[in-house]
Amino acid sequence: MAAADRLEIGSLRIAFGRLVAVRDVSLSVREGETVAIFGPNGSGKTTFLKGVAGLIPVQGGTVVYRGEDLSRLPAHERAARGVRYVSDRSRVAVRMTVRENLDAGAWLLPAGRRKAARERVLSLFPVLGEKAGEPAGVLSGGERQMLILARALIGEPSLLLMDEPLLGLSREVRDRFVSVIEAQLKGRVTILMAEHDAETGFRVMDRLAIFRRGALVHERARADVRDASALLALLHEHFRPEKERGNG
């Protein structure tokens, strides 16, 4: 597949002073592929995704998407090229209505397409449609996270960077999110999704990547992992303390 059909991250390096958070990570992602990223707290997952999104400065490496080098572009320019970042720590504008929050996410769309885009994302999360005219501050935690994802999707992204977007949500809300990913996004949108839950990761992934101490230490295709239990066993093996792995 040509480079124009890929996300190519080359030797990305991110540091905060003397602390190196991402150590020369390279990752190639096919158009429409979903890569689930796993790693313990502090392994560099969030920093990596923010670096790709242009939300934090990087000290080295490249981000090339659809044949264009985005490495020196600010976050809003990357957004104009279809890149969106969604996190469990993202926020909504609580005094604005649900509809106004969505309209803010549609700023890059032509005016004539915004209404249809809003109706499309509200159909994915019916509860938001029921509360479209209410302030976002009245939404529950799960509903706010639905709004955050809907606000990202309304802009019709082609590359979605998701940083543990389901963390702390109920099983019902998690299943709704995963259903949207499976039915509406997989194969159509390129997704990098940091996740901590093996079952959810296994459901959505085409491939997995494991981070440890800022480095990408393992990649594997979904076809090479039997089921969610096998994935969990693989993660446990990689997350053991060094001395238990025979390296200390």
Instruction: Give the CATH number for residue 56.
Output: 3.40.50.300
How many independent structural domains does the chain possess?
2
- Rounded Cα distance, 106 and 102, in Å: 7
The pLDDT assigned to 246 comes to: 45
* Residue 123: its H or E element: helix 111-124
For 129-185, the pLDDT digits (tens) are 999 999 999 999 999 999 999 999 999 999 999 999 888 888 888 898 999 999 999
Residue range of the domain that includes 207: 1-82+158-167+187-248
Task: Using the 3D structure, point to which of 156, 177, 207 is the last residue of a domain.
Answer: 156
For 20, what's the count of Cα atoms within 13 Å in the CB-facing half-sphere? 12
For 174-223, the pLDDT digits (tens) are 898 999 999 999 999 999 999 989 999 999 999 999 999 999 999 999 99
Reported as a pLDDT band with limits 50, 70 and 90, residue 5 is confident
- Rounded Cα distance, 25 and 13, in Å: 7
Q: Is the pLDDT of residue 2 over 60?
A: no
Verify that 100 and 15 share a domain, yes or no: no
Verify that 191 and 240 share a domain, yes or no: yes
Greatest C-alpha distance within the chain: 61
Reported as a pLDDT band with limits 50, 70 and 90, residue 241 is low
Verify that 142 and 162 share a domain, yes or no: no
**Residue (of 74, 76, 92, 72) closest to 84 by Cα position:** 76
Residue 3 within a domain:
yes
For 79-104, the pLDDT digits (tens) are 999 999 999 878 899 999 999 999 99
- Rounded Cα distance, 80 and 214, in Å: 28
Average pLDDT over residues 21-43: 96
